[in-house]
Amino acid sequence: MTTSTQSDSAAKRDVTKLQRAIVDGLEDVKAHDIQVFNTEALSPLFERVIVASGTSNRQTKALASSVREAVKEAGFPVPRQEGEQNGEWIIVDCGSVVCHIMQPVIRQYYRLEEIWGATPVRLKLGAAKPKPAELAAKKLAAKQAVDKAAAANTVVEKKPAAKKAAAKKPAATKTAAAGAKPAAKKPAAKKVAAKTIKTVVVKPSVPRTAKAEAAAKPAAKRAPRAKA
């Protein structure tokens, strides 16, 4: 009894996993109006029927191919398919789940929802798993973003050092200005030289007295003349 219960639970998990894989494959190629129906009480051959629409032969064929790849990647046997040549109605037989991919006109004409739609299955749409190529592209973009951020941080860290170097320049200017100040004292040296010159000029300009001049003249007359 316990073994049969476990096997039933495992089978239900497989069906759930399979229908999820099929829906993901349909969403990857933008299928329209995806609907899932539980057919356990209607047929012993399969447990789910999935109906989806494609707007053209090209899209229906692409949808069928995407479903087959998704089922294979999920670990299930490669499904069989019919109607690929026509493209108006393609049946992908996945064992316990059968997927009908139809163009809108064909879908409206045959109305499979009225045949199998007694028990619809609520399934979250829009949760398609990204493909390996998309994952690789996202990882590469994330890595480039991290490298760019690291490079930006490195540049930002270098800027303060440049500012410090620039900030040191005024100090150097002050030192140069301080060294140039003694040269400004030259006018004081000129002042001292001017005072010295003035003193030297004043000394020879002392006037002789009248008595000295008068005394000098007779002395010149009294000097004897040399005989011939």
Instruction: Please give the backbone phi and psi of residue 161, each rounded to the nearest 5 degrees, phi first.
Output: -60, -40
CA atoms 27, 31, 36, 42: torsion sign? negative
Identify the band that residue 177 occupies on the pLDDT scale cut at 50, 70 and 90.
very low
Query: Who contacts 91 (Cβ-Cβ below 8 Å, separation ≥6)?
Result: 81, 82, 83, 98, 99, 100, 101
Lowest-pLDDT range of 59-63, 72-76, 206-210:
206-210
Specify the DSSP class assigned to residue 11: H
Question: For all residues of the chain together, what is the average pLDDT?
Answer: 75
Better-scored residue on pLDDT, 180 or 65: 65
pTM (2 d.p.): 0.55
Closest CA to 108 of 23, 33, 26: 33
Query: Who contacts 116 (Cβ-Cβ below 8 Å, separation ≥6)?
Result: 37, 39, 42, 49, 51
Residue 222 predicted with pLDDT over 80: no
Per-residue model confidence (pLDDT) at position 12: 86
**Mean pLDDT along residues 63-72:** 96
Per-residue model confidence (pLDDT) at position 9: 80
Lowest-pLDDT range of 20-34, 55-69, 120-134:
120-134
Better-scored residue on pLDDT, 50 or 198: 50
